Amino acid sequence: MTATTPGVKGHCAHCDITFVLKPWQLNAIAISEPFDCPYCHKVLLLNCPRQLRQLRSLDNLALLRPSMLVLTCVALLVALVVEWVGLISKVGQLNVSLVAILIHFLTLRHARHRHRMTLTLQAVNPVIERPVEHFAGVAGTRFGQR
């Protein structure tokens, strides 16, 4: 699925740098897990629900490529058989095949276009994001071990 992920970019609202998101960063965003900006090392989080929905819909698009390939192959085979049986002429078969291939490429082009998006990532304060009690608890157990 790596062939479908390039193109999704992240824009760090803190240092104003746009960078290509790596698959693990995309996974982190998809499950609303904060991660560090590779440039300013601020903790980033996607706060926009619309962009989050858009990102999650990419999983469905990843299935589009193989299913479109099968669909186009079936269309070409049907055109071949129909011409062979004698229902349409050779020119008709050629036209049907060309239309099928055209639809195939247009659909994939549209899918690729949708993949090219930039997510606006807001820098969040990790102290507010994670409860203080968590740190207090960790410190407590460390003191307890000593």
Say whether residue 20 binds Zn ion (CB under 5 A).
no
Contact window for Zn ion (CB under 5 A) among 40-48, 61-69, 98-106, 110-118: 40-48
Q: Tell me whether residue 37 or residue 79 sits nearer to Zn ion (CB atom).
A: 37
Q: Are 2 and 34 in contact (CB under 8 A)?
A: no
Q: How far is the CB of 27 from Zn ion (least distance, A)?
A: 19
Q: What whole-number distance in Å separates Cα of residue 31 and Cα of residue 52?
A: 9
The amino acid at 116: R
- Which has the closest alpha carbon to 117: 1, 3, 11, 2? 11
Q: How far is the CB of 22 from Zn ion (least distance, A)?
A: 15
- Phi then psi for 91, rounded to 5 degrees? -65, -40
Q: What whole-number distance in Å separates Cα of residue 38 and Cα of residue 24?
A: 13
Q: Tell me whether residue 14 or residue 114 sits nearer to Zn ion (CB atom).
A: 14
Binding mask of the shown chain, residues 41 to 80, with x at each position contacting Zn ion by CB under 5 A: ----------------------------------------
Nearest-5° Cα angle at 114, 70 to 67? 10
Residue 136 DSSP one-character state: H
Binding mask of the shown chain, residues 94 to 133, with x at each position contacting Zn ion by CB under 5 A: ----------------------------------------
Q: State the residues that interact with Zn ion by CB under 5 A.
A: 12, 14-15, 37, 39-40
